[in-house]
Chains A and B, each alone.
Chain A
């Protein structure tokens, strides 16, 4: 009798129970296990779960690896390039479509279409487009740009795109002045040129999503606000810059957070488009984790890198979730 009573009072909880148990094991249990693996001596095919001494040694080893340093640099550079491009292109598209215009649905669908594709399809096609021997460089010839440049006595435009190992705008000198001894950096801290095509491909895929988010927000801005601004004599540029874009701030924040969460764990696109790149110019932590776990059998190293990825995205997501929930309750 008591049991039946308890059951009926907790039915809601019982219905949730399967999902809660799965979440407890597959999310939190597994994260804990990964973290534990990152502290162990397990770095060959033979499982060795004894703790390393000192216990953080795998993390220290990893941070000293030029490859992992390059991965951190690439994540920062890719994130800035990609989010900057995707948000500005997406906002631009939304503003272009923020009016009565013939074929609005066609335009919206065209810009959003790449979002429905997998990163692998995107990577496969864009790898081709940015192939130095075939892709966009041929297009430059085709358009006569290179002939014009040569006629003007300049070098033809033949970037190596994803095959270019160059790192431009290096700040190593600056860093070594701030930290004498250079903090043990073994790589060039700057913008790897090869990441630019990857950021462009990612923008192609996700700027339509940004546009859809902004179009949703623009639809919620009442016509009265626009009219009032116009009566005050604001032109189109003024209207958007001083009134509408500031009103879209919450959408910008949500969008940037979602894109951050995409860019911090980017894997498939880079994997299919450029791989690790020349001198790890396009390597990212997700590829590092994959190779350490499934190619090199350096399990503790892969686990440590995955925990770093988790911490990085949690720093973005957790405050956002907390804010969202607080906001909802009030």
Chain B
């Protein structure tokens, strides 16, 4: 029995070390003094700790961090609101063909976005939103609606239909029922959808790099990739930059881990 426990703890300890290894690499190299950044010392603990890497990374990435924030907040909010309305109809006001419409909508979550990229760029050029953050926000809202609809629909299915019926008998219309009965119950679903969308949109790379070619207006993931590909930037700056870019989603995860897991499982279309 104790041998088994010992093996279990050894296995878990080993896996934890393995999983934390990249985090360790990020941390120790981000605080390394610029003068001691060298090929040979990557795994060693820094002898002198310096904030230089973070100062420089912040200087280079803060405009892009701001772009990411300006992009992610409205995009996550709008796609969640649309998702809530859609999920409400698809669960509580089904009509003939609504399941097929739902499936057609859901398919949009699973396509490789490469297959819409060229028309999307042309379209955004045509409506003069190409290369702008509003264009990027529109893109994320449109392609986020399918998954938020799924999250809300799965949530609303578990709200008893009798609540809706009782309200309609009292004379409330479809919108009043949503506003007065459903919405007040929707807080958990909004939390799940917002976290899911926040993480997804913050971490996006493909839309950012294709819809916004101008480095000044790009989100932080693209700026970080440019930083890492540039030969003139020291590693401590790149590692500090990786931490800075990862921090918002990492904090959301650490603070709201439970909801994060729930979003992830509903994103997985549980049958």
Binding site for B on A (CB under 8 A): 8, 10-13, 15-16, 18-20, 22-23, 26-31, 33-34, 37, 93, 96-97, 99, 101, 107, 109-129, 133-135, 138-139, 142, 204, 208-209, 212-213, 216, 236, 250, 254-255, 258, 261, 264-265, 267-268, 271-272, 285-286, 289-290, 293-294, 299, 302-303, 305-307, 309-310, 313-314, 317-318, 320-321, 323-325, 327-329
A116 partner, pick from B29, B94, B199, beta carbons under 8 A: B199
B143 partner, pick from A26, A34, A126, A204, beta carbons under 8 A: A26
* B110:A261 contact, CB within 8 angstroms: yes
* A12:B205 contact, CB within 8 angstroms: no
17 CB < 8 A contacts A-B:
A30-B116, A34-B118, A37-B119, A96-B8, A109-B257, A112-B261, A116-B246, A116-B249, A117-B246, A118-B202, A120-B203, A124-B242, A134-B39, A272-B225, A293-B118, A317-B107, A327-B271
In the bound complex, CA of A178 to CA of B238 (Å)? 49
* B221:A120 contact, CB within 8 angstroms: yes
Q: Which residues of B contact A112 (CB under 8 A)?
A: 253, 257, 261
Nearest-CB distance from B266 to chain A (Å)?
11
Q: A254-B270, A267-B205, A268-B221 are in contact. List 8 more A-B contacts (CB 8 A).
A: A26-B143, A31-B111, A96-B11, A96-B15, A303-B118, A313-B111, A320-B269, A321-B106
Q: Which residues of A contact B238 (CB under 8 A)?
A: 124
* A317:B19 contact, CB within 8 angstroms: no
* B173:A11 contact, CB within 8 angstroms: yes
Number of B positions contacting A (CB below 8 A): 89
B71 at interface, CB cutoff 8 A: no
In the bound complex, CA of A63 to CA of B130 (Å)? 32
Q: Which residues of B contact A30 (CB under 8 A)?
A: 115-116, 119-120, 123
* B269:A22 contact, CB within 8 angstroms: no
Q: Which residues of A contact B110 (CB under 8 A)?
A: 261, 313, 317, 321
Q: Which residues of A contact B235 (CB under 8 A)?
A: 128
B246 partner, pick from A27, A34, A118, beta carbons under 8 A: A118
In the bound complex, CA of A134 to CA of B41 (Å)? 8
- Contact flag A121-B107 (CB < 8 Å), given A101-B8, A265-B114, A290-B114: no
- Contact flag A125-B22 (CB < 8 Å), given A120-B245, A212-B264, A258-B268: yes
B250 at interface, CB cutoff 8 A: yes
* A212:B119 contact, CB within 8 angstroms: no
Q: Which residues of B contact A33 (CB under 8 A)?
A: 118-119
B80 at interface, CB cutoff 8 A: no
* A302:B93 contact, CB within 8 angstroms: no
Q: Which residues of A contact B239 (CB under 8 A)?
A: 125, 128
* A254:B269 contact, CB within 8 angstroms: yes
* B22:A115 contact, CB within 8 angstroms: no
In the bound complex, CA of A285 to CA of B249 (Å)? 28
Nearest-CB distance from A172 to chain B (Å)?
29
Q: Which residues of B contact A294 (CB under 8 A)?
A: 209-210
B104 at interface, CB cutoff 8 A: yes
Binding site for A on B (CB under 8 A): 4, 8, 11-12, 15-16, 19-23, 25-26, 29, 39-40, 42-43, 82, 85-86, 88-90, 93-95, 98-99, 101, 103-108, 110-120, 123, 142-143, 145-146, 149, 173-175, 199, 202-206, 209-210, 221-222, 224-225, 228, 235, 238-239, 242, 245-246, 249-250, 252-254, 257, 260-261, 264-265, 268-271
In the bound complex, CA of A318 to CA of B260 (Å)? 26
Q: Which residues of B contact A119 (CB under 8 A)?
A: 203, 205
* B268:A118 contact, CB within 8 angstroms: no
Nearest-CB distance from B61 to chain A (Å)?
12
A121 partner, pick from B43, B104, B120, B242, beta carbons under 8 A: B242
* B224:A139 contact, CB within 8 angstroms: no
- Contact flag A11-B174 (CB < 8 Å), given A96-B8, A135-B42: yes
**Which residue of the partner chain B has the closest CB to A35?**
B115
Interface centre among B16, B43, B90, B116 (most CB of A within 10 A): B116
Nearest-CB distance from A216 to chain B (Å)?
6
Q: Which residues of A contact B26 (CB under 8 A)?
A: 125
- Contact flag A19-B19 (CB < 8 Å), given A265-B114, A306-B117: no
Q: Which residues of B contact A310 (CB under 8 A)?
A: 111-112, 114-115
**Which residue of the partner chain B has the closest CB to A124?**
B228
* B246:A267 contact, CB within 8 angstroms: no
Q: Which residues of A contact B202 (CB under 8 A)?
A: 118
Q: Which residues of A contact B204 (CB under 8 A)?
A: 118
- Contact flag A212-B261 (CB < 8 Å), given A128-B42, A286-B112: yes
In the bound complex, CA of A320 to CA of B174 (Å)? 32
A129 partner, pick from B21, B242, B254, beta carbons under 8 A: B21
In the bound complex, CA of A114 to CA of B145 (Å)? 25
* B114:A23 contact, CB within 8 angstroms: no
* A20:B105 contact, CB within 8 angstroms: yes
Q: Which residues of B contact A309 (CB under 8 A)?
A: 112, 114-115
**Which residue of the partner chain B has the closest CB to A47?**
B122
In the bound complex, CA of A31 to CA of B174 (Å)? 34
In the bound complex, CA of A27 to CA of B11 (Å)? 45
